[in-house]
Structure 1
Amino acid sequence: MIEAQGLTKRYGDKVAVDDLSFTVNPGRVTGFLGPNGAGKSTTMRMMLGLDNPTRGSVTIGGKRYTELHHPLRTVGALLEARWVHPNRSARAHLSWMAKSNKISPKRVDEVLDIVGLTEVAGKRAGGFSLGMSQRLGIASALLGDPEVLLFDEPVNGLDPEGILWIRKFMQRLADEGRTVFVSSHLLSEMALTATELVVIGKGKLISQSTTEEFVARATDSTVKVRSPQLDRLRPALEDIGATVTESDGGLLVSGASSDKIGELAMENRVTLHELAPQQGSLEQAFMQITGDSVEYHTDIDTADAAAASAAATN
């Protein structure tokens, strides 16, 4: 478990993290989201003792990172994939890390196999592609078989097969009861990977909830209806105050549940060919909720961005 309490970090006059409190529980993948400049990287660095908080604290399993005797056995982290010395081989890099935390040398070959780097284990890390470097970083995080894992942009540089692999792998780690905390700008991937979200903006907590609750709270739910008798159903829907718009030969209805629409259809002897709830996307919800927390705005406004995202999804 990770617990942040009143976590604050100042750099001179700039407040990077502002009285931030949240909990990351085991047994699930928790996504860490926020616009650029929100304080995500600073928060993760404070978790790992790389930056000291100005005020507040963050603990992992009840202890600060600096209090852990063999930290790699408790916490595995990927913050920067290319921090490896370029002249070291993947195996040499992992062997050095294992020795520093009294981890069995056998574990080096195990994690190399897990991430698919066995065939290049003897090659210089400086010659790795970004995707291979990401895999080596993930191997480093797994080396101590830790209960807590922190990943910052873990799918950068990975091909579609690699992205699918890391998604399923993180979910499997969570299913084993581990605490998995992952920061990413790929919201479509987070929607598929994370069951819970911690969302921050300008260093402050905006939301902590399940992914489903976050999307439902921020976007309007609609129901898609197809029927050969829409001319009878539409007036009945409007009579109960529902908002009805035409879409792809059917209707999009907001302000009425699918159950209510089904009941109205039965009352009016309307045959239904489709009755499908439509939920907004994580991208739409994120842009709506964090719109006031974006540090650098472009010319496109939030509504246009949401429309563009929806069009791209369709």
Structure 2
Amino acid sequence: MIETTGLTKRYGPKKAVDDLSFTVRPGRVTGFLGPNGAGKSTTMRIILGLDRPESGRALVNGRPYRDLKHPLRTVGALLDARWVHPQRSARAHLEWLAAANGIPRTRAAEVLDMVGLTEVAGKRAGGFSLGMSQRLGIATAILGDPGVLLFDEPVNGLDPEGVLWVRKFLHRLAGEGRTVLVSSHLLAEMALTAQDLVVIGKGRLIAQCATDEFISRAAENVVRVRTPRTDLLGAVLGGERTAYARDGDALLVSGMDSARLGELAFDNGIALHELSPQRGSLEEAFLRLTGDAVEYQAV
């Protein structure tokens, strides 16, 4: 489990993280979202002991990272896929990390196989594509078989097959009872990957909840309805002062739930061929709730 309490961190006069508190629980993939400059990377660095907060604390399984006896066997992280020495092979990179952390050397071959890099294990990391580097970074994160994992933009540079593989892999890790925190700007992918969300803006917490709850909380209530008597239904809705818009042969009705809309159609003798609530997208919900927390905006 990851817990942050009252984290605050400044860079000069700017607060990168501002009294930030949240909890990431095991057994779920938690998406860590926020606009550019929101403080996500700084927060992850604080959790990993790479930056010190001015106040507050970050705990991994109840302890600060610096107090962990075997860090790589407790926490795995991918923050920068390109940090590997370019002249070192993927195998050599993992083997020296294993040796330094008391991990059996054979584990390097195991994780290379897990991420699909066995055939290029002897090649220099400097010649890897971004997608291959991402896979090597994931292999590094899971090298110590840790119970807590942090990933920053893990699908950058991956093709669609690779993105799908990462999604399934993260679900598998969480399904094994691990704590998985994933930061990403790819909201459509996060909607498919993250079961829970921590959303921040300008260093402060905006929301922490299940992904579905976040979307339903921010999305406008819209129902799609089809009827052979579209004009009559439109007139009835106008009488109810309910907004709607045409969508082909259907109407998109805002501000009225499907139950009330069905009753209204029945009371007015209007047959319905479709009555379906429209689920909002994570992107729409994100933009609606973080609009005031965007650090850099185009004019």
Q: TM-score, normalised to structure 2's length?
A: 0.97
Q: Distance in 2 between matches of 1:233 and 1:147?
A: 56
Give the aligned partner of residue 292 of structure 2.
292
Q: Is 1:243 matched up with 2:243?
A: yes
Q: Is 1:266 matched up with 2:266?
A: yes
Deviation at 1:272, TM superposition (A): 1.8
Give the aligned partner of residue 146 of structure 1.
146
RCO comparison, higher one (Cα < 8 Å, 6+): 2
Give the aligned partner of residue 164 of structure 2.
164
SS at match of 2:296: coil
Segments of structure 2 that go 5 or more residues without pairing to the other structure are none
Q: Is 1:189 matched up with 2:192?
A: no
Deviation at 1:241, TM superposition (A): 4.0
Segments of structure 1 that go 5 or more residues without pairing to the other structure are 300-314
Q: Distance in 2 between matches of 1:224 and 1:13?
A: 49
Q: Is 1:129 matched up with 2:133?
A: no
Q: Distance in 1 between matches of 2:118 and 2:67?
A: 33
SS at match of 1:206: strand
Deviation at 1:211, TM superposition (A): 1.3
In structure 1, give the amino acid aligned to 2:108: V
Say if 1:77 and 1:149, in contact at 8 Å, map to a contact too.
Answer: yes
In structure 1, give the amino acid aligned to 2:73: R
Q: Distance in 2 between matches of 1:149 and 1:182?
A: 8
- Aligned pairs for 1:33-48 (under 5 A) are 33-48=33-48
Give the aligned partner of residue 11 of structure 1.
11
Deviates more, 1:7-16 or 1:66-75: 7-16
In structure 1, give the amino acid aligned to 2:78: L
Deviation at 1:17, TM superposition (A): 0.7
In structure 1, give the amino acid aligned to 2:56: G
Q: Distance in 2 between matches of 1:297 and 1:193?
A: 27
Give the aligned partner of residue 60 of structure 2.
60
Q: Is 1:81 matched up with 2:81?
A: yes
Q: Distance in 1 between matches of 2:271 and 2:99?
A: 70
> Identity over aligned residues, as a percent?
68
Say if 2:223 and 2:275, in contact at 8 Å, map to a contact too.
Answer: yes
In structure 2, give the amino acid aligned to 1:7: L
Q: Distance in 2 between matches of 1:290 and 1:240?
A: 32
- Aligned pairs for 1:80-99 (under 5 A) are 80-99=80-99
Q: Distance in 2 between matches of 1:111 and 1:60?
A: 23
SS at match of 1:166: helix
Give the RMSD, CA atoms, in angstroms: 1.3
Give the aligned partner of residue 118 of structure 2.
118
In structure 1, give the amino acid aligned to 2:290: T
In structure 2, give the amino acid aligned to 1:5: T
Say if 1:241 and 1:255, in contact at 8 Å, map to a contact too.
Answer: no
Say if 2:221 and 2:256, in contact at 8 Å, map to a contact too.
Answer: no
Say if 1:197 and 1:210, in contact at 8 Å, map to a contact too.
Answer: yes
Q: Distance in 1 between matches of 2:159 and 2:53?
A: 36
Give the aligned partner of residue 102 of structure 1.
102
SS at match of 2:271: coil
In structure 2, give the amino acid aligned to 1:122: G
SS at match of 2:87: coil
